[in-house]
Amino acid sequence: MEKGFLPISREEMKQQGIEQLDFVYIIGDAYVDHPSFGHAIISRVLETNGYTIGIISQPDWKKKESIAEFGEPRLAFIVTAGNMDSMVNHYSVSKKRRNTDAFTPGGVMGKRPDYATTVYSNLIRQTYKKTPIIIGGIEASLRRLAHYDYWSNSMKRSLLLDSGADLLIYGMGEKPIVEIADALNSGIDIKDITFIDGTVYKTNSLESVYDYLVLPSYTELKENKKSYAGSFYTQYCNTDPFVAKRLVEPYKEKQFVVQNPPAKPLSQSEMDQVYALPYMRNYHPSYEEAGGVPAIAEVKFSLVSNRGCFGGCSFCALTFHQGRIIQTRSHESLLAEAEKIIWDKDFKGYIHDVGGPTANFRHMACSKQAEHGACPNKQCLFPKPCRNLKVDHSDYLKLLRKLRALPNVKKVFVRSGIRFDYLMADKNEEFFYELCSHHVSGQLKVAPEHISDNVLKYMGKPENAVYEAFQKKYKKINEQINKKQYLVPYLMSSHPGSTIQEAVELAEYLRDLGYMPEQVQDFYPTPSTLSTCMYYTGYDPRTMEKVYTPKNPHEKAMQRALIQYRNPKNYELVKEALTLAGRTDLIGFDKHCLIRPRNTADGKFFSQNKGKKSQVMTEGSEKQKNRKSKKTIRNVHKKKK
């Protein structure tokens, strides 16, 4: 019997011959049965292990009966806010409400609550007092211990406590969810499931907990920002499944939150099995009338080839969520999925992406990681590539060649991000040439993020000289293959460590480059990143040294405006920023200037620039004004006569 969508109503549950579901899955997104959506993977993994599961998508959180569609599940409720943290989904970095939600039918905003995991879990508890609740997904994963919450500007408790859930799954949850399901099915009480990697639980006693580190208490974290910086770095150094210790976070007397070590990475065969499950590869047909789910457009004709990232960018939460160990799918698995894509009626001949967090990572950083894990206190690429780093694009290159050779395929793009410093470390230029020849659509998006080495240091990114070398090489290769293709650099303003001076430095770089970005990403302090810790505490947790952090909204607006200094709307902000930075030499008419002076109300040109041309223009305006005054006086005398 061909499988279809999982039931979303009691009627569909009955049609599938199910009297009581094993699990009811509450999700903050629309129901999309595609492996790019976490809820699709978890539900299909449970299904293939013999469990029944129903989906309640975006329930009305103001009505407690909205989570009672299927009645009480036999084993547990599972709750996730969706593919994004609900607060990031709802608000821009300036804390303004977004207008659309790509994960909701028709792109409608407001179909899920703020802090969705907590709200949904509390809603369940109003009706089902003792039914186990398991929370997971990106929101739960990155809020698993006490964390700084940007939107309330406060230190929040572990989400496990605020939600009232029994168990929290962090990271990629395929292994933990099956172990939990099997434990519950065997009759083990949810409170006794304390032994599964990749989970967080609460307890009143540490008698049965072993091999653990005690973090500062929640009370201390609220009172002392430096303590939080130290606590966060301890967490950061315990994200590897092979070497991580258990972490214990004390709350009130006899209340502890315990984080078990991360789940072991999936083997290639396990990854293949996950992506071979019978996904419908589309949103539920009930959403068709509303216009479908916009988020499917980005992933429908893309392939996920890997997980994890050893890049170690400070502002990215991947270290906390997926970990640093690369997990890959086999060529056979990816080609099998591609075969489904290329015969789809809507396929136009373009595979939009083949990648993951970083497209050109197709194996572990070094051979020792498979047995000993990633180094707790060292990065693979920062500040320089580790001498043990294995730099090899040959496997990725073979994969792309196979995909290009498939029928109906016109082009295979690489859009999920190329780590350019890793590419530059490869002495074999074959992949670089083929990337430019076959996998770029006129523009290659890369993420240097900044050009100030001081800011890049805090970002965990390579020094600017590496990007400069990459830029020159990219240009040279495109000239050799006779293609006009360009780089589109992603840039970030207001990152910790960036003063107005560094922002001006970036603006000057863009001036010399002749490039004006259409979009600028202002640093967004999302939960559980090194950069967010710096933003909140004022300390770099790696060194415990103080770091300057722009927090004032007006200063952040100035830094952002400097990157787009040519936009007339930004003129006043740019002028103010240059004045504050003592760089009014950049206001004038010379080619090195960012903006020109403007007339003031009294007719004089505004400029503190000592440049000759500016002085001449100012003197000229004074002479013109004097001539007008003399003419006015003569006219008055004539009238008197």
Distance CA(74)–CA(46), nearest Å, equals 14
Paired with 229 in beta bridges are: none
Residue 599's pLDDT is 67
Residue 135 three-state SS: strand
Residue 175's pLDDT is 97
The model's pLDDT over 450-489, given as tens digits with 9 standing for 90+, comes to 999 999 999 999 999 999 999 999 999 999 999 999 999 9
| Residue % of the chain over a pLDDT of 70 | 93
What count of Cα atoms within 13 Å lies in the side-chain half-sphere of residue 33? 23
Domains 301-440 and 442-596 share a fold: yes
Q: pTM of the prediction?
A: 0.91
Q: Enumerate the domain spans of the chain.
A: 10-201, 301-440, 442-596
Distances (CA, A) of 367 to 153, 236, 330, 419, 503: 42, 22, 18, 20, 40
What's the rounded mean pLDDT across residues 235-257? 94
The CATH class for the domain spanning 442-596 reads alpha beta
> Are the C-beta atoms of residues 78 and 136 closer than 8 Å to each other?
yes
Q: Indicate whether 614 pLDDT > 80.
A: no
Q: Indicate whether 363 pLDDT > 90.
A: yes
Residue 165's pLDDT is 98
> Are the C-beta atoms of residues 431 and 397 closer than 8 Å to each other?
yes
- Range 537-573 burial, b when 16+ CB lie within 10 A, else e: bbbbbbeeeebebbeeeebbbbbbbbbbbeeeebeeb
Q: How is domain 301-440 classified at the CATH fold level?
A: Transcription Regulator spoIIAA (3.30.750)
Residue 185's pLDDT is 98
Mutual orientation of helices 571-580 and 553-563 as an angle, nearest 10°?
110
Residue 533 three-state SS: helix
The model's pLDDT over 181-220, given as tens digits with 9 standing for 90+, comes to 999 999 999 999 999 999 999 999 999 999 999 999 999 9
Residue 632's pLDDT is 42
Q: Burial level of 122, CB count in 10 A (0-12/13-18/19+)?
A: middle
Q: For 446-479, what is the HEC assignment?
A: EEEECCCHHHHHHHCCCCHHHHHHHHHHHHHHHH
Distance CA(458)–CA(268), nearest Å, equals 34
User: 199: which residues sit within 8 A by CB, 6+ positions away?
Assistant: 167, 168, 169, 170, 176, 180, 193, 260
The model's pLDDT over 396-421, given as tens digits with 9 standing for 90+, comes to 999 999 999 999 999 999 988 899 99
Q: Indicate whether 613 pLDDT > 90.
A: no
Closest by Cα among 609, 382, 592, 577 to 499: 577
Q: How do beta strands 521-522 and 199-203 pair?
A: unpaired
What's the rounded mean pLDDT across residues 53-82? 97
- Superfamily of the domain at 10-201: Cobalamin-binding domain (3.40.50.280)
Residue 383's pLDDT is 92
Residue 517's pLDDT is 86
Q: How many residues does the chain have?
A: 641
